[in-house]
Amino acid sequence: MKVGDTVEDFALVDQSGQTVTFDSLITQGPLVIYFYIKAMTPG
């Protein structure tokens, strides 16, 4: 993934248990997606 790539809609559950979709977030303005490699994993 690089700057300018398009993203298919996806849904995730937030910290409050609510389902949030990419489409609902992107309509609010610019969006930064950050992936934590090895987050919460040993090593």
In tens digits, what is the pLDDT along the chain, a chain of 43 residues? 788 888 889 999 989 999 999 999 989 998 887 777 766 667 6
Domain boundaries, the chain: 1-43
Residue 19, Ramachandran bin (φ over 0: left; ψ between -120 and 50: alpha; else beta): beta
Q: Is the CA virtual torsion 26, 28, 34, 35 positive or negative?
A: negative
Terminal-residue alpha carbon distance, the chain? 25
| Model-wide pTM > 0.85 | no
Q: What's the confidence (pLDDT) of residue 37? A: 73
